[in-house]
Amino acid sequence: MPTTTRTENGFRFLRFEEDGPVARITLDRPEARNALSMALSDELFEAITLVQRSTTIKVLVLTGAGGTFCAGDDLVEFAGLLDSESADLNQAIRRVRVYQAMANTLEELDKVTIAAVDGYAVGGGLEITMACDFVVATERARWGMPEVDVGITPGWGGTTRMSRLIGRRLTKEVNLLGALHPASRAWELGLWNRVVADDRLEAEVAELVEVLLSKNQQMVRQLKFIINRGVEADLHTAQGFEVLSVGVTTAVNGVWRVPDADQGDGLRDFAAKGALWQRRRGLARDFWADS
């Protein structure tokens, strides 16, 4: 797939590419297995924000250079900060909140997101995949949350999103034991969508992108939104999202008029300070206001 690299963005630790409606972010610290240093994390957030602002991008693919998706947070960098005279607990908390904001922004994009995983996706790398809509991985890929063995805990999805995806009991197993699991188990648990032969990753992702781009993009955006919101709500609230989505869908398909609605007259009359506006405000402005 031909791409045009947006070198003018000046990224050092990742590559950001656009090819029509498809964007690709490639983590590019292969010498460190694409570990998320603070600098790379800042660039990743910036790249995700570029995608968020775009009105032409429909699909975002995230991947890693050098045969590894992402080995998680840069623990060597983190260890160095512990002995620094400027070490500050509040700064660590602020940093985690930035990472949470990054994952939340990724999850809430009005584009479809695909994590293309080869090699390791552990710690923060796994947390990235859990904020994506689709995850396609190679058979040789490995995943896990090994933070427990260095005396830290996940900060942006390793306990929260994971428990929503695979349940409390399995999330405890993954986090408390810290094992590295084969890609096949992520598929079995519903954590990832597909596991493909090691030489099939790019082709499989390209085929998935083709299918997604063939869809009615407004319907894709609505479905993603109501599923993301509905899963965090009680059943009746979630059904409310479905009802409103049906209304939007019907309007988008051309049936938008409601006989006892204004059809925009209320706003137009407000701008003109016309009779409709004057009558409504005249009736309502002081009604029961003395109570």
Name residue, tokens 């049936």: 255
Q: Tokens 């003395």 belong to which residue?
A: 290
Asked whether residue 197 falls in the same domain as residue 234, the answer is: no
- 143 membership: H or E segment, kind and range: strand 142-144
Domain at 30, CATH number: 3.90.226.10
- Say what the pTM is: 0.92
Same domain, 226 and 269: yes
- In sequence order, the 6+-apart residues with CB closer than 8 A to the CB of 21 are 56, 57, 58, 59, 213
Tokens at 262, concatenated: 């204004």
In tens, the pLDDT along 134-145 reads: 999 999 999 999
| Residue % of the chain over a pLDDT of 70 | 97
Q: What is the pLDDT of residues 231-257, one digit of tens each?
A: 999 999 999 989 999 999 999 999 999
Q: Sign of dihedral through CA atoms 49, 50, 51, 55?
A: positive
Domain of residue 94 covers: 4-213
* Alpha-carbon gap, residue 91 to 232, rounded angstroms: 29
Nearest to 191 by CA among 141, 241, 242: 141
CA angle 46, 75, 72 (to 5 degrees): 55
Q: Does 149 lie in the same domain as 10?
A: yes
Record the tokens describing residue 129, joined without a space.
């995949």
When pLDDT is cut at 50, 70 and 90, the band that residue 72 belongs to is very high
Q: pLDDT, tens digit, for every residue of 117-132?
A: 999 999 999 999 999 9
Q: What is the mean pLDDT of residues 78-82?
A: 84
- Could you give the number of structural domains in the chain? 2
Active site residue ranges = 127, 147
Residues 112, 99: one domain? yes
Pair (204, 242) in one structural domain: no
